[in-house]
Amino acid sequence: MAQETDDRQDSGKSVFYGWYIVGTLFFATFVGVGSRQGFGVFVEAWEEDFGASVGAISVAAGIGWAVNGIVQPFFGRLTDKLGGRRVLIWGVLAMGLGTMLVAASPNVYVLIAVYGFVVSSAAGGVFPTPASSVIVRWFQRKRGTAMSMVAFGGSAGGFIMVPFAAYLLVIADWRTAWLVMGAAILFLALPLLLAIVRSDPEDMGLNQDGDEEPISTPGDGNDSSPSIRIAPLATTGWKESYRSAPMWQLSLGYSVCGITTAIVAVHFIRWASTEDITPGTAALAFGLLMAINGVGLLVVGSVSDRMQRKNLLGTVYLIRGLGFLALIVFPGVPALWAFAVIGGMSWLASVPLTNSLTADVYGLRNVGILNGLIMMVHQLAGGLAVIIAGRVFDIWDTYDPVFAAAAGFLIFAGVVSYSIRERKYSIRFQSPQPLPTSRPVVVAADGD
């Protein structure tokens, strides 16, 4: 109790503790996502060492991709039941140990087992579902900003950790590189999580956003008594969410997000080759896309706290659709630069918007599993789209039909997102309701 009082007093005079959580989850995402993305760096080394084909090594990557998607609802449910702190700590621990275990793989079959199943499922215990489920509990007014900062960790992780892994491979062997990456997770991310992350502001006697009182809105005619706003579609069981439109609208939009990002990311190199784009130009365009992606993500997250998130989400999809149209309309190099700029603005911005909207609409009780389910749809749709896009290219020898379909899907996703009735369903636009007098001062803001 003394600790709670202490934290309350402190919250008014220093940075809200939630921002320390954001910093910690940023870093957990940074090393977690970054080291996973680095997998592709080691393909040639494994080909030589194991005598395995790229196809065989791809099985590990493919399984890892599917497993990572499928476990998201499971970890989401665990986060709802046990709290994000426990899930994140065990997730990072398992991921760190699994990453180090990859270094001990004697052949491609062990690699498939360790990486495809252990590391990839453990990674699901870190990002995006558990991390985002913790963030939405700490923030409501600044939810978009906080979510985008954590998501930015994944982007920055790819930017730093992938070259880090690539150059480690130059000065050492692949086993050393995986040991170092595992050590970074275990000795940098894990202690930080242990020391700082708490599942809920209530654990420290704090309120969302660092408010003195639970979320309330002045001018409700009864300012002297505490009041709360309730997420209109907050339900006791997660399955009930599927009886309402926003869950379908968000899932549809996010599946298109998965389809379109997967198509470009996977088929980028082959497309660049067919357009006679030089490697140097492609690498520079890639860097530009990364930079714009980071800035776009942070800007969109921040702006989403000031306006209806669904409008931004719809705009993000439409902008990405323009990027795909640019790939069809312009020739090779101009198309690449146009896509880097236009696509960069929208690449990751859908993540914080979708996760924040889910929490705004459905409250906090089941937010973990709901975010996990939406994420699973994203991954599975992306995987299927990649296969179809490859087949289309093999038949027609061009990506134009694929890009045209992607643009069409994105316009559809934009319209679907715009049609979400956020003012009706989001907690942000609800009038406060008086707190029951018997209720303790600190309560969850969605009526949980």
Site for another protein in 19-38 (CB under 8 A): 20, 23-24, 26-27, 30-33, 36-38
Phi-psi region of 363 (alpha: psi -120 to 50; beta: other; left: phi over 0): left
- When asked if residue 347 is in the footprint of another protein (CB under 8 A), the reply is yes
Token pair recorded at residue 248: 């379908």
Q: How far apart are CA 61 and CA 96, in angstroms?
A: 18
**Residues in contact with another protein, shown as a per-residue x/- string from 292 to 331 under the rule CB under 8 A:** -x--------------------------------------
Output 40 or 447, the one with its CB closest to another protein: 40
Of 168, 128, 164, nearest to 149 (Cα)? 128
Q: Which of 368/382 has CB closer to another protein?
A: 382
DSSP strand pairing (227-228 vs 433-434) = antiparallel
Helix (H, G, I), strand (E, B) or coil at 228: strand
Q: Which stretch binds another protein (CB under 8 A): 15-23, 81-89, 328-336, 352-360?
A: 15-23
Q: Report, in Å, the least distance between residue 232 CB and another protein.
A: 29
Interface with another protein (CB under 8 A), residue from 48, 191, 431, 441: 191
Interaction residues for another protein, span 136-165 (CB under 8 A): 154-155, 158, 160-164
Shortest CA distance to 176 belongs to which of 168, 184, 167?
168
User: Distance (Å, rounded) from C-alpha 396 to C-alpha 167?
Assistant: 38
Question: What minimum distance in Å lies between the beta carbon of 119 and another protein?
Answer: 10
Minimum CB separation of residue 113 from another protein in Å reads 16
Using the minimum distance from each CB to another protein, give the nearer residue, 157 or 432.
Answer: 157
Q: Which of 96, 99, 127, 325 is the binder for another protein (CB under 8 A)?
A: 127
Residues 61-100 that bind another protein (CB under 8 A): 61-62, 65, 68
Contact (CB, 8 A) for 398 and 275: no
Rounded Cα distance, 170 and 247, in Å: 47
Q: Which stretch binds another protein (CB under 8 A): 230-238, 277-285, 329-337, 407-415?
A: 277-285
Alpha-carbon span 133 to 154, nearest angstrom: 16
DSSP string, 347-392: TTTHHHHHHHHHHHHH-STTHHHHHHHHHHHHHHHHHHHHHHHHHH
Considering only 266, 333, 380, 435, the residue that binds another protein (CB under 8 A) is 266
- How many residues bind another protein (CB under 8 A)? The answer is 86
Smaller CB distance to another protein: residue 81 or 270?
270
One of 174, 362, 393, 418 touching another protein (CB under 8 A): 393
CA distance 283 to 182: 27
